């Protein structure tokens, strides 16, 4: 199921299936989250979770802290990959740099069993407040230069 949410006047593209959400990492998402990371991410998660429950009859089994940290983690990684492209292409050889860039184009957030990285995001969830304070200045690029 594809959905478009409007948050802060910006369209956020989301694909959803049972237990899995794919959020497009595009200029609208980066701008919305960069302007107000906590409020934007909380609003987006609430809308996604409500639609998931309505569509599939069960709640999306991802905690808000883990969900938020995963979104911000992908956005920040994408920012650093693009900002330090020249250096990282040398350091991350054998196609790893390109693979990481591709993995940041869409933010896949899934329940355990559908998202192999869920344990990592769950472990980082206690850092949500600390990450929220750092997100705005880190994801400002309006587009993904390639």
Instruction: Give pLDDT tens digits along the chain (146 positions).
Output: 999 999 989 999 999 999 999 999 998 998 888 878 899 999 999 999 999 999 999 999 999 999 999 999 999 888 888 888 889 988 998 889 999 988 889 999 999 999 999 999 999 999 999 988 877 555 654 444 44
Cβ proximity of 53 and 60 under 8 Å: yes
For residue 17, the surrounding DSSP H or E stretch is: strand 10-17
What are the domain boundaries of the chain?
Answer: 2-137
Sheet strands side by side (includes 106-110): 2-7, 10-17, 20-24, 106-110
Cβ proximity of 20 and 57 under 8 Å: no
pLDDT for residue 143: 43
pLDDT for residue 145: 46
Q: In this structure, how many other beta carbons lie within 10 angstroms of the beta carbon of residue 61?
A: 13
């Amino acid at each position: 199921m594809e959905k478009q949410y409007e948050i802060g006047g910006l369209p956020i593209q989301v694909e959803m299936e049972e237990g899995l959400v794919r959020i497009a990492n595009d200029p609208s998402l980066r701008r919305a989250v960069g302007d107000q990371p906590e409020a934007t991410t909380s609003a987006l998660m609430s809308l996604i979770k409500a639609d998931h429950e309505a569509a599939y009859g069960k709640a999306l089994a991802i905690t808000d802290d883990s969900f938020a940290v995963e979104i911000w983690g992908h956005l920040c990684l994408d920012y650093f990959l693009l900002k330090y492209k020249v250096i990282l292409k040398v350091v991350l050889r054998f196609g790893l740099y390109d693979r990481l860039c591709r993995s940041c184009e869409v933010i896949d957030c899934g329940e355990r069993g559908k998202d192999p990285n869920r344990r990592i995001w769950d472990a980082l969830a206690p850092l949500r407040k600390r990450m929220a304070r750092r997100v705005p200045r880190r994801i400002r690029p309006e587009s993904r230069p390639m």
